[in-house]
Structure 1
Amino acid sequence: MNDMFKIIEDEKETYVVNDILIESFIDKKFCVFDLEGTGLDFENDNIIQFGAVIVDNKEINNDIYFERFVKPSKLIPKKIENLTGITNKMVQYAGSFDEVFQEFQQFSNDCILVAQCGYEYDFRILSSECKRRNINYGNFMEMDTKILFAHLHPELHDTFSTDFLLNYYSIDVSGLKRHTALNDSIIIAHILVNILECCKNFAVE
């Protein structure tokens, strides 16, 4: 694992960005992804859906996307079914994590992986799923939009949730259903594009 933005988490769950000047990243290729799971316990829960899009040259590639269900080793709780719309029946014949992760690796090849609140959930559960199955996680460069935004705006004090960032950048996502991995990855991609433009203005390279 190769973290571009590392975090230090204290008892108040605040974040510090280290080594932000490692290399120029504004014009690199990004794989923006989101995961849905059986719950929030990244050490024991299972991923049930991958969604990802590509951002290249600060633009979202609408022609290329990744969306896969994953068959979990446990049943999806009813509250998760209600939240995501993903039912046990929908994942009954889905591919295994091993199969889907291999496809995801191919899709995200040569990209920086980007997630919103990734160090709180997505990166952690992805790494945990790999560890549990003795799968090589790879040497992905990782970036968390929440942490990068916090670095760019030290004058702001908030949780920097997805809703906060959407409101801050006046991004209209009314046509996208939330809590599906692909739609959420598209939403995060719009946030990333705005952050990258902000990075350019701030001369963060």
Structure 2
Amino acid sequence: MKEQKGVGRMWQLYKMGGVTPAIASMLGAQNAQQMAFIRSMTKEQRKQSMLDEPLKEMEVVVFDLETTGFYPYNGDEILSFGAVLLRGKELYPDRTFYSLVNPKRRVPKHITELTGISNEMVADAPDLMQVLHDFMEFCGKRLLIAHGLGHDKQFLNAALWKTSKVNLTHRLLDTMMIAKWLNPHRESYGLDELLETEKIKVTQRHHALKDSLMQAELWLLYLNRILERNITTLGDLYAYLSKH
């Protein structure tokens, strides 16, 4: 109970005066600054409108998370972040982000078998606040794209709330939704099946960065098909997706 009261007091102090000496004392100076950056990033993002930007010129970040399970509000945690930057039809393979995260809990055996991430690997990894700060800095105000976005969005929101008491405010796109719109009669829209259909080389699955790179290739294929349909802006694309 004392800890909960302390956390409540910390947020009350923050709302009154930002990163005060009292906040810095509670969190540590570095964590306090990271929290302030994350909060300012989401606040600025609310003002940012990119609906009229041409898709063929837009900078986007394709990202992926690996996690200990499916339930961030029931004890599951993020294990790794991966992301890659694209501008229009160009992928920048040297502009990537990858980091393990110390989940402060045991990694289940079946998750280690799936992802290759072991307890030993994450023991010395940076904590969530540090990696989340670095990831948000990499993403900037850009559109975020993922495949099966619901899972990643849920974990990102849980992480943002846990560390900084904010929610994700970035514009988002789900390549699974785009696949369903472009190919409405498919039986499966899983990433493995789509990579096989589109003849995208599978390097390593369930690795956050390598999945991001493969998903980026998928997005580029879909972007060409979107532009061929004379859909040129993000607002146009949102409008079409909302009807399907």
TM over 0.5: yes
Equivalent residue for 1:169, pick from 176, 198, 206: 198
- Greater relative contact order: 1 or 2 (C-alpha under 8 angstroms, separation 6 or more)? 1
What does residue 123 of structure 1 align with?
153
Equivalent residue for 2:210, pick from 162, 180, 183: 183
Looking at secondary structure, tell me which structure has more helix per residue. 2
Amino acid at match of 2:214: I
Q: Does 1:79 align with 2:106?
A: no
Gaps of 5+ in 1: 3-21
Describe the SS at the equivalent of 2:70.
coil
CA distance in 2, matches of 1:116, 1:169: 15
Amino acid at match of 2:93: N
Shift of 1:136: 2.7
CA distance in 2, matches of 1:65, 1:134: 24
Moved over 6 A (4+): none
Number of positions where the alignment pairs a residue of Structure 1 with one of Structure 2: 183
TM-score (structure 1 length as normaliser): 0.82
Equivalent residue for 1:148, pick from 178, 182, 199: 178
CA RMSD of the aligned region, Å? Answer: 1.9
CA distance in 2, matches of 1:49, 1:191: 21
Gaps of 5+ in 2: 1-41, 46-50, 233-244
Amino acid at match of 1:80: I
Identity %: 30
Describe the SS at the equivalent of 1:122.
helix
Contact 1:26 1:199 (C-alpha < 8 Å) held by counterparts: no
Shift of 1:138: 4.3
Contact 1:117 1:146 (C-alpha < 8 Å) held by counterparts: yes
TM-score (structure 2 length as normaliser): 0.70
Could you say if the C-alpha distance between residues 135 and 94 of structure 1 is closer, same or farther in structure 2, counting changes exceeding 3 Å?
A: farther
What does residue 10 of structure 1 align with?
none
Shift of 1:41: 1.5
The structure whose Rg is larger is 2
